[in-house]
Every structure is written in C-alpha cells, then in structure tokens.
Amino acid sequence: MTSFAHPYTRIVGTGHYLPKNVMTNEDVEKVCDTTSQWIIERTGIEQRHFCEEGESTADMAEAAARNAMESAGVEAGDIDLIIVGTSSADYGSPSVASMLQHRLGCNTICAFDVSAACTGFIYSLGVADSMIKAGTATTALVIGAERISQYLDWEERNTAVIFGDGAGAAVVKGSDEPGILSTHLHADGSKKDSLFLNNGKPVYEPAERANKVTMDGQDVFKNAVKRFSEVIDQCLTANNVAKEDIDWLVPHQANIRIIQAVQKKLAMKDDQVVVTVNKTANNSAATVPIALDIASRDGRVKPGQLVISAAFGAGLTWGALLLRF
C-alpha cells in the first residue's frame, strides 16, 4: 500500500491475552526442586499462565490483536502492516504475523516476525514507527507473543521458574500529534550463551541444549541492570527530557529486583511503575504490551502522559522508547 508519511506514530489501542491455565509457585514446587518462598524472594513472581496443549503462539497473538483492534476501533481492512515480536513462533515459516494476516482477514499486507527475544516488542514498535514515518504504512498491528512453556526444563530450576506464556498488542497509526518520541535498539551477540533458546535440532550445539531455554542468571542480571541504565540515559538525552518529567515506567517484566534497580535510577515512586511480573512472570516479548494494556485499561496510564519503556533479553538485545500515550 502506498501512503503518505506522518511525522509521528501514536498508539491508538492496546490489548492482551493470557492463557486460562495458571500455575502457582506451589504448583511449581511439585515439579521442580524449588520453593515458593525462594521464587518470590529472588524474582517477585507468584504465578504464571501456561498454554493448554494445542494452544499456539498464533492463537494468543490473534486474541491479543483482536482485543487491541477493538480498543482502537479499527477493522482488519484498515491495517496495512503486522509485526510480531516472538522467539517462540509456531513454525520456522510461515511467520506468526503471516498467519495473523490470514486469520484476521487483512488484505495482502506486509507481515513479518522480529526475533529479538524479550526486547521483541520494543524492536517491533521501533520498526513500525520507522515504516509509518517513511510512508510505507499508516496503521500497524504490533504484537509480542510467546509460548515459552514448550522450552522449559524443570531440571533447570533457575530458568524454568521465571517464564510464562502470553501475548500483548498495540495498534499504531501515523499522526500529526506526538506519540512515539524515539526508540533506541541495541544488540551484543558476543553474549549469546548467557541466555539461549535452542528451538530446533541441536545441529551446532551440544545435544543437552536442544529444545530448551538455558540461562546464566547472574550474568543476565548484571547485564540487564547495566544496559537498562545506559539505554534509558540515551533515551532521555535524545529527547532532552528530565527523569522528573516522566509519568510512568513500563519496563520489561523479568524480575522485580531488576525493575526496582531501574525504578531507583529514574527516582520514580512505586505508583509510577507498572508491575505485572508477580501475576504473569516473564512473557519475554509480550511483557511490555501486556503491562501497558493492563495499566491503560485500569486507568493508571492516561492519554497524554509521558511513558518510558525499556526491555532486555537474549541476543543479547536491549532497547528503550519514550512515548506520549
């Protein structure tokens, strides 16, 4: 579709989906050498949602997308771009985005997945923002969707206890009014082994890493705090915005202790930080849109407020964005 460029991209609707099946820490104790108390103290997580057998990443992405489209008041025919951030696509190909194009009944529009692990939604939003500003699209569906449960090994207790399934979505549109003010995206492949998801046959990797996610928790923690701090500074400086001007922090939800470190850096109060990790655990690329949708639907994040979001994940990847909601 040919369209004309807009100076800004605005989020005009959000949505999310969490599978019905809830696994509490007490349930985890039954399958893993851990305790509920350890999980809460070290991560802040109380429960996570897991897909039923047969429920796919595309199923969750579709539910979140329909929810966001309803909140934005857009029809399938209005959408001219679909981007899905995911590390747990149902197939190598087709992409989840391509399946969504068909399921939602969109025209033969551009649709593709972005693989940037937990930073997948911020990467996807950054790409959509650039395409809309370039005039390649006018109305995009941007989604983070993950079915990480299929890659969890309960013998890997420091990794398995932190993840959950879910999907979040946003409809973004070209606008003459400020919306997304900037996005900042980074990667460092030298740290690929710190957090690793081998989602296929172990052709290049030791057999014990096949079809599971493995993590050096302490290394990831250290790098997450460092990179969050850097990229938030970069985002504030680029926009000439002081931390006092920010209304809300909507961070990636991996661990309450990482969120608290970012909160401290921004000197924000508890009631300015959206926290969902206790109820959802780490949904990888889906955490930011899920948190944004929950906080906008319950009236915390209001139109016109200044929101900063940052994420960090495997790759390693990290990124931040500042937006006028």
Active site residues: 118, 252, 282
Burial letters for 149-174: b for 16+ Cβ neighbours within 10 Å, e otherwise? bbbbeeeeebbbbbbbbbbbbbbbbb
Q: How many residues bind ligand COA (CB under 6 A)?
A: 22
Instruction: Give whichever of 17 and 312 is closer to ligand COA, judged by the CB atom.
Output: 312
**Structure tokens belonging to residue 284:** 């990888």
Instruction: Give whichever of 142 and 258 is closer to ligand COA, judged by the CB atom.
Output: 258
Residue 42 makes contact with ligand COA by CB under 6 A = yes
Q: Which of 24, 37, 107, 218 is close enough to bind ligand COA by CB under 6 A?
A: 218
Q: Between 263 and 292, how does the x/- string for binding to ligand COA read (CB under 6 A)?
A: -------------------x----------
> How many Å separate Cα 303 from the centre of its chain?
21
Dist CA 283 CA 168 (whole Å): 9
Strands (E), 221-301: 248-249
Residues in 50-79 at the binding interface with ligand COA, rule: CB under 6 A: none
Residues in 90-149 at the binding interface with ligand COA, rule: CB under 6 A: 118
Dist CA 89 CA 276 (whole Å): 23
Cα–Cα nearest to 3, from 100, 139, 130, 118: 139
**CB-facing half-sphere around the CA of 16: CA atoms within 13 A:** 27
Candidates 36-44, 47-55, 101-109, 202-210: pick the segment binding ligand COA (CB under 6 A): 36-44
Q: State the minimum distance, in angstroms, from the CB of residue 284 to ligand COA.
A: 7
Q: Which residue is nearest to ligand COA (CB)?
A: 217
Q: State the minimum distance, in angstroms, from the CB of residue 314 to ligand COA.
A: 7
DSSP-assigned letters across all residues of 189-206: GGGGGGEEEE-S--SSS-
Interacting residues with ligand COA (CB under 6 A): 34, 38, 42-43, 118, 157-158, 161-162, 195, 215, 217-218, 220-221, 224, 254-255, 258, 282, 312-313
